[in-house]
Amino acid sequence: MHSSIRRILAGSWMVCCMLHGGTSVADESVPPHLTLRIPSTLLSETRVVNVHVPPGYDGKAEVLYPVLYMLDGGEKEDFPHLAATLDALIEQDEIPAMLLVGIENTERRRDLTGPTDVASDREIAPVVGGSANFRGFIEHELMPRIRMFYRVGDETAIIGESLAGL
């Protein structure tokens, strides 16, 4: 595994640990970012995506940045505190500078679960089984859009907790 991917994954693990002991989303302001609305053919809906660039990002420089894609990445979800945590870790030279792309939820259980015929699953979540389409959206619609507009390389990682960890 490439060394900067290992650093991203190690940094992601540190971020996960910090999230469970950190402040709540309501206590934090939302760091500077751009909110995109991306129409998805695969999901048959428009998805809200928040993009936070690292301190010192230069869209005209030759540098290619890694990208951390984040599930539960809405402004009222985990995006604000993860963006702030990444900035702090980057400033401390603990992880490489990277973009954070937060994917806001619409139908969380649909997007994060596979198909099921188990009746009790349907009681918990009436709409399930859309994970293949959601992964397709990330790979085939979102990632190409991010590569088109930002100075990013091929190094990517994805972060999620609980159901989003699936």
pTM exceeds 0.85 for this model: no
**Can you give the CATH number for the domain in which 137 is found?**
3.40.50.1820
pLDDT at residue number 19: 44
The range of the structural domain enclosing residue 107 comes to 3-165
Distance from C-alpha of 45 to C-alpha of 69, rounded to nearest angstrom: 19
Structural domain total, the chain: 1
State the chain's mean pLDDT as an integer. Answer: 83
Residues 6+ apart with CB under 8 A from 44: none
pLDDT digits (tens, 9 = 90+) for 106-133: 988 888 888 777 877 777 777 778 899 9
pLDDT at residue 141 in the model: 97
Token representation of residue 59: 């869209």
Kindly tell me if the per-residue pLDDT of 42 is higher than 60.
yes
Which has more pLDDT, 67 or 12?
67
Q: Which residue has the higher pLDDT, 108 or 97?
A: 97
